[in-house]
Amino acid sequence: MDASDPLSDLRERFYIPEDCLYMDGNSLGLFSKDAEAALEHVVEEWREHAILGWTDADPDWHTYGERLGERLASLVGAAPEEVVVANSTTVNIHTLVGTFYDPDRGEKIVVDDLDFPTDHYAIRAQLRQRGRDPDEALRVVESRDGRTIETEDVLAAIDDDVGMVFLPSVLYRSGQLFDIEAITEAAHDADALAGFDLAHSIGTVPHDLSEVGVDFAVWCHYKYLNAGPGAIAGLYVNERHFGVTPALAGWWGNAKETQFDMSLTYDPAHSAAAFQTGTIPILSTAPLDGALDIVEDAGGVAALREKSLALTDFLIELVDERLPECEVGTPRDPASRGGHVAVEHPEAYRISLALKERGVVVDFRQPNVVRIAPIPSYVGFEDVFRTVEHLREVLDAEEYESFERKRGGVT
């Protein structure tokens, strides 16, 4: 399968740590030579141009966020001006939920109980800012099995009291891919807005946000897009919302033409760029510029998705066959699966430590999940096979017994 993989050469462009099977790219993607070159380029320009880099660098730093938005638009199926890079994912949730929450439209915000915590923290904070009790205003769709959320339960939660639905595209633990189209349609039928956190799908699942009519979305670039730890995040705002004043307005979201007029009245850019806040952090943005070359050379996200599904199919098949004491917590239907697989075992935490000691980098998520992410741009089918063999050996020798149960820090 590796021999017939049209994307197999891409891995040469990445720095794969020595003696390592890297299966954690859904937490932090690998550094690439392309990202490194883009970073070195801006460092060189800083050295040469100093402040003139804002205008004289190539590409100029002043419109760097908008330009990257244009490059990212095809990854999410949006018009170029509907996308920009800015802030962090959490900050983008604050500004977008803060902007678009309108209790007159409907007091409730629909979320689910398997969401990544930061989404709830930010939404709750925004509700408090508006004088609302988050326990009252949040309508939390509950999982039936602790792994996934039924689409019909989401749809049933959307009624006239709902003003906004904010859900992930892919659940961070089980890897379930949501039906964005059906949810957006239901939200709009109830005159509510639909927003999504695409952290676990950007760069590995194609999206068509504009066509579906999604109102807004956020994501990070340090997972499947390999832009580096804490890299700048991204956001999408549908063009019908252009012109609103963002909740977290700042001078970087002012129209570029009037930004340096230094008027004390904010003049929002007539695009998603209005949702930038402060000065773009060029050094944590530049690697994304290089990393996107790899996506383009792969033939776009559709090509990456095809290989990703083949890799996760293979992984699920091997877990079924070789690891009967483990369960697959990820939907088997490809249409409901993101880019990683949740392998469940009561000793998942200590198994993840035993694997890391063997050089197999995975991560652990509460309460019983070893997450394995075969990233299509640098993981091959043999890597998947070897990962499962390591797991088999760890289980056979009960290697996890030599690790403490006590947890702390990053898992």
Ligand X SMILES: Cc1ncc(COP(=O)(O)O)c(C=O)c1O
The residues carrying an active-site annotation are 116, 197, 222-223, 371
DSSP H or E run through 196: strand 193-197
Cis amide bond preceding 17, omega within 30: no
Q: Which stretch binds ligand X (CB under 6 A): 195-203, 277-285, 321-329, 330-338?
A: 195-203
- Binding status of residue 411 toward ligand X by CB under 6 A: no
Mapping DSSP to helix (H, G, I), strand (E, B) and coil, where does residue 371 land?
strand
Residues in contact with ligand X, total (CB under 6 A)? 13
- Binding status of residue 274 toward ligand X by CB under 6 A: no
Mapping DSSP to helix (H, G, I), strand (E, B) and coil, where does residue 409 land?
coil
Site pattern 76..105 for ligand X (x: CB under 6 A): ------------xxx---------------
Site pattern 208..227 for ligand X (x: CB under 6 A): ------------x-------
Query: Is 323 buried (19+), middle (13-18) or exposed (0-12) by CB count in 10 A?
Result: middle
Counts of helices then strands in the chain (DSSP H, E): 14, 13
| Least separation in angstroms between CB 138 and ligand X | 17
Pull the structure tokens for residue 227.
Answer: 């832009």
Q: Which stretch binds ligand X (CB under 6 A): 192-200, 245-253, 348-356, 398-406?
A: 192-200
Pull the structure tokens for residue 46.
Answer: 């800083």
Q: Quick one: 37 or 283, whose CB is closer to ligand X?
A: 283
Site pattern 275..314 for ligand X (x: CB under 6 A): ----------------------------------------
- Binding status of residue 172 toward ligand X by CB under 6 A: yes
| Least separation in angstroms between CB 122 and ligand X | 9
Q: Quick one: 186 or 199, whose CB is closer to ligand X?
A: 199
Tell me which residue of 182, 184, 210, 211 sits closest to 196, measured CA to CA.
184
Tell me which residue of 239, 114, 117, 124 sits closest to 178, measured CA to CA.
114
**Alpha carbons 180 and 196: distance in angstroms, whole number:** 8
Query: In DSSP terms, which residues pair with 345 in a beta bridge?
Result: none
| Least separation in angstroms between CB 176 and ligand X | 12
**Alpha carbons 101 and 93: distance in angstroms, whole number:** 11
Q: Where do contacts with ligand X occur on this chain (CB under 6 A)?
A: 88-90, 116, 118-119, 168, 172, 197, 199-200, 220, 233
